């Protein structure tokens, strides 16, 4: 494949955009390549500026359950745009979207729209602090909740520790209220509550980790967090920006049967447009202004185009009765093919999968259940694997520590092509 036009586009972009991209992972630094610049996408096919075509396994980082540029979503956007692209005032789109979310997500009784997943998680933490009157919260190493200051914190030397900033621009004062624990390690959370339980407003986590690669929680871990937060009067927050509506109609909380107090959503509820939301029990949500004292606002919150696209998306999810069974079947077949290919190629690896989300970790570790185990992966091998896959027309996440997403739009023939390309790439490593 030739990438001349993408190279030129990247050179041009670097002159006016820091690093040439508006989100760091897009720079392809971790795989040692120049980024591919996308010209268009339709269904499961991405086309770059050089005319190269790829089977898309990234799905815009998850939301494209029905593929790109779906006619029903495009029609909804078009019909909404005729009446205006932004109001900064209430519209019935917002109410209809809220009613759909409440109908579909088990724990949500009221919901507030925002414009991004980061905005949703920032607001949820503020709400938890306002509701409980406490300042500290617990997050897990390897979980990503957007780029809010409180979340860009790394663990110290032990499990029971104050967080320390991992980005310039974040104050030590901000970091002191972020307590770090180890994913899938309930004792690490119990230790924090024993020491500072009266100060902890919330525990926030990805109910299925998707930002250290896919890491699956144990049922005991999730139930333990539910029991622990209830015992100490803290809130349990599920960050379902990735898992919401992807793992099940009601997200990971439906999939695992454990209900949080607050849930953050994004990506899918905009049908591909910028959007986010947070919701939960009515008594908690009514702490938000203008009803309560906790303030959050946004001119573009509930944007009519994003709401119209999201309504179309959620309605399609609600109407497509075989959506999750079909994605499960396709993803299971892909997983089986990759595992067989690893044996054929004689390469050590772990495949973690939940529903239509999966990650192939190039590690000799027998399992990946937390960040430390994920970090044993051979990132140089993944970079070579990514390059070989790209050359074979398969568009994967440009990082070892991200997800592959199977969509409802992927055909059995495309799954076969992905399995074959996987084998060819593994053999060449």
**DSSP element (H, E) containing 335:** helix 323-345
Residue 302 gets the label, from left (phi > 0), alpha (psi -120 to 50) or beta, of left
Count of CB atoms situated within 10 Å of the CB of 279: 24
The C-alpha angle with vertex 131 and arms to 155 and 288, in degrees rounded to 5, equals 110
Confirm if 80 and 89 have CB atoms less than 8 A apart. no
Name the residue among 308, 315, 353, 385 with its Cα closest to residue 216.
353
Instruction: Give catalytic residue positions.
Output: 144, 239, 267
Burial annotation 117-138 (CB, 10 A radius, 16+ → b, else e): bbbbbbbbbbbbbbbbebebbb
CA distance to 51, 81, 202, 327, per residue, from 69 (Å): 18, 16, 38, 19
Exposed, middle or buried: residue 295 (CB in 10 Å: 0-12, 13-18, 19+)? exposed
Rounded-to-integer distance, Cα 109 and Cα 164, Å: 35
- For residue 113, give the DSSP letter: E
Rounded-to-integer distance, Cα 193 and Cα 190, Å: 5
Angle between helices 92-104 and 304-319 (to 10 degrees): 30
Confirm if 250 and 106 have CB atoms less than 8 A apart. yes
Rg (C-alpha) for the chain, rounded Å, is 21
Cα Dmax for the chain: 61
CA distance to 8, 232, 235, 331, per residue, from 129 (Å): 48, 14, 9, 39
């Amino acid at each position: 494949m030739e990438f001349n036009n993408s190279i030129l586009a990247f050179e041009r972009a670097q002159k006016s955009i820091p690093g040439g991209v508006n989100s760091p992972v897009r720079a392809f630094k971790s795989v040692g390549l120049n980024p591919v610049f996308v010209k268009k996408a339709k269904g499961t096919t991405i086309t770059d500026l050089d005319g190269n075509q790829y089977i898309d396994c990234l799905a815009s980082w998850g939301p494209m359950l029905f593929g790109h540029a779906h006619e029903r979503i495009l029609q909804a956007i078009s019909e909404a745009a005729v009446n205006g692209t932004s109001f900064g005032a209430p519209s019935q789109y917002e109410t209809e979207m809220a009613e759909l979310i409440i109908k579909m997500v088990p724990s949500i009784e009221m919901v507030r729209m925002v414009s991004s997943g980061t905005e949703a998680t920032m607001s949820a933490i503020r709400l938890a602090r306002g509701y409980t009157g406490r300042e500290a919260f617990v997050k897990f190493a390897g979980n990503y909740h957007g780029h809010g200051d409180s979340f860009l914190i790394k663990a110290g030397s032990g499990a029971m520790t104050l967080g320390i900033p991992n980005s310039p621009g974040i104050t030590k004062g901000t970091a002191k209220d972020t307590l770090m624990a180890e994913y899938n390690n309930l004792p690490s959370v119990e230790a924090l509550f024993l020491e500072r339980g009266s100060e902890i407003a919330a525990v926030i986590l990805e109910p299925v980790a998707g930002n250290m690669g896919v890491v699956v929680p144990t049922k005991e871990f999730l139930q333990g967090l539910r029991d622990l937060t209830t015992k100490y009067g803290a809130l349990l927050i599920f960050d379902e920006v990735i898992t919401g509506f992807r793992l099940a109609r009601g997200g990971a909380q439906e999939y695992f049967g454990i209900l949080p107090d607050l849930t953050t959503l994004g990506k899918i509820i905009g049908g591909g447009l910028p959007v986010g939301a947070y919701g939960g029990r009515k008594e908690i949500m009514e702490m938000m202004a203008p009803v309560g004292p906790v303030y959050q606002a946004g001119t573009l919150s509930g944007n009519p185009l994003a709401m119209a696209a999201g309504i179309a998306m959620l309605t399609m999810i609600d109407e497509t009765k075989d959506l999750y069974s079909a994605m499960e079947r396709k993803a299971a077949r892909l997983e089986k093919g990759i595992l067989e290919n690893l044996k054929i190629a004689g390469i050590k690896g772990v495949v973690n999968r939940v529903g239509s989300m999966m990650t192939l970790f190039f590690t000799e570790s027998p399992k990946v259940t937390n960040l430390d185990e994920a970090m044993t992966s051979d990132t140089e091998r993944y970079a070579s694997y990514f390059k070989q896959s790209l050359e074979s027309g398969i568009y994967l996440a440009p990082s070892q520590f991200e997800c592959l997403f199977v969509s409802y739009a992927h055909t059995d023939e495309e799954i076969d092509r992905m399995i074959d390309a996987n084998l060819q790439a593994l053999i060449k490593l």
